Copies of this chain bind each other. A is one copy, B any other.
Amino acid sequence: MKNYVIGIDIGGTYIKSGIIKYDGTLLATDKMATPVDNGVGEVVHTISCLIDSLIKQTGIKRKEVIGVGIGSAGAVDRVRGEVCFAANLGIQKVPLADLVEEKTGFRVKIANDANCACVGEWKFGNGKAYSDLILVTLGTGVGGGIIIGNRLFEGNCGAGGEIGHMLLNKGGRQCSCGRKGCLEAYASATALVQITLEEMKKDKFTKLWNVLDDSKMITPQVIFEMAKTDKLAKKIVDDYIHNLGEGLVDLCNIFRPQAIIIGGGMSAQGENLIAPLRDYIANHIFAKETTPPVDVLQAKLGNDAGVIGAASLFVS
């Protein structure tokens, strides 16, 4: 009997994989580095290797697998099973669902990675209580998934929901999409690290240099930790929250969801990130206390949301 679904989450840095039972229980996971700019063949090969590894790990039989759900970065046409455009992967107009089906023999469905994570969080995570929510994923880029009236909203041919590519600051920081000043250019984990490295060059006294002296990397975790004692790190974190807060207020003014859920790598900062965002939204949302509030929560599924969400494309 078919009881298992495989989920593949193609991000800008890793391709993650997992196998779940139909009730959402995650049985095993794996990951490999995303082969960027090596063409789609390498991406398909990596996915195939990850599937083989999961089956080997768990001993589940191939005939017990319902299908393979894939979440891919970029604009994805769910109906055609096509990755229309993924700047981070350097591919466009690729019929990825068909290619993986041919290579592996499994049924394949595909959707945008952040949309998958959103469905996962909504079906199996902290979004269960809501009919209208937005998941904002803060990782290599800024993605989003939007649930309206208990349905995933994707826009025409799945090309909507690109909430990382709303303007925050016209003419501001260069974004991967070609425009300048998008939310992603300020609020992704990558942007936070990049901005920190830029600011460090202007301030030779910041304790952030000690981190590099200790041969450690500048990571969001390090920046948030240093913000407790270092002035520059604090300013960087405050600016980050202010910028992200403004972007989230925009989403509230447009969608007025019941909840915004913060996912992606950045969400590991927990209440250090969520609490100030919650305050920012309450204080800056359109019409404030005269209109319904918006709950702000950390994603529950954490790093597994993408994989579980991708798999849930096969869960009705």
Residues on A close to B: CB < 8 A? 74-75, 84-85, 92-93, 132, 148, 153-157, 159-163, 165-170, 177-179, 243, 246-247, 249-250, 252-258, 284, 286-288, 290-292, 294
How many copies the complex holds: the figure is 2
* A243 neighbours in B (Cβ, 8 Å): 170
Given contacts A157-B291, A287-B75, whether A163 and B85 have CB atoms under 8 Å apart is: no
Contacts of A163 in B (CB 8 A): 253-254
**B148 adjacent to A153 (CB under 8 Å):** yes
Q: Are A162 and B253 in contact (CB under 8 A)?
A: yes
A161 CB, min distance to chain B CBs, angstroms: 7
For the complex formed, measure the closest distance between the CB of A256 and the CB atoms of chain B, giving whole angstroms: 3
CB of A160 within 8 A of CB of B290, answer no
**Given A75-B286, A253-B160, A287-B75, A169–B169 Cβ distance below 8 Å?**
yes
* B-side contacts of A250, CB under 8 Å: 165-167
Q: Is the CB of A160 within 8 A of B84?
A: no
Check A290–B93 contact: CB distance below 8 A: yes
A85/B159 contact (C-beta < 8 A), A167-B167, A253-B166 known: no
Q: Which residues of B contact A168 (CB under 8 A)?
A: 167, 170
Q: Say yes or no: A156 contacts B179, CB within 8 Å.
A: no
Residue of A155, A157, A163 with highest tally of chain B CB at under 10 A? A155
Given A160-B253, A256-B156: A85 in contact with B290 (beta carbons within 8 A): yes
CA distance A246 to B287 in the complex (A): 24
A85: B residues at CB distance < 8 A: 286-288, 290-291
7 contacts between A and B (CB under 8 A): A93-B290, A132-B155, A132-B156, A148-B153, A154-B256, A165-B250, A165-B253
Please indicate the chain B residues that have their CB under 8 angstroms from the CB of A288 in the complex.
85
Which chain B residue has the least Cβ–Cβ distance from A257? B156
In whole angstroms, how far apart are the Cα atoms of A160 and B74 in the complex? 26
Contact call B84/A287, Cβ cutoff below 8 A:
yes
Q: Contacts of A253 on B, CB cut-off 8 Å?
A: 160, 162-163, 165-166
- CB atoms of B166 and A166 under 8 A apart: yes
Distance (Å) between the CB of A280 and the closest chain B CB? Answer: 11
CB–CB A254/B160 < 8 A: yes
Contact: A256 with B160, CB < 8 Å?
yes
With CB as the reference atom, state the residue of chain B lying closest to A171. B169
Give min CB distance, A174 to chain B, whole Å.
14
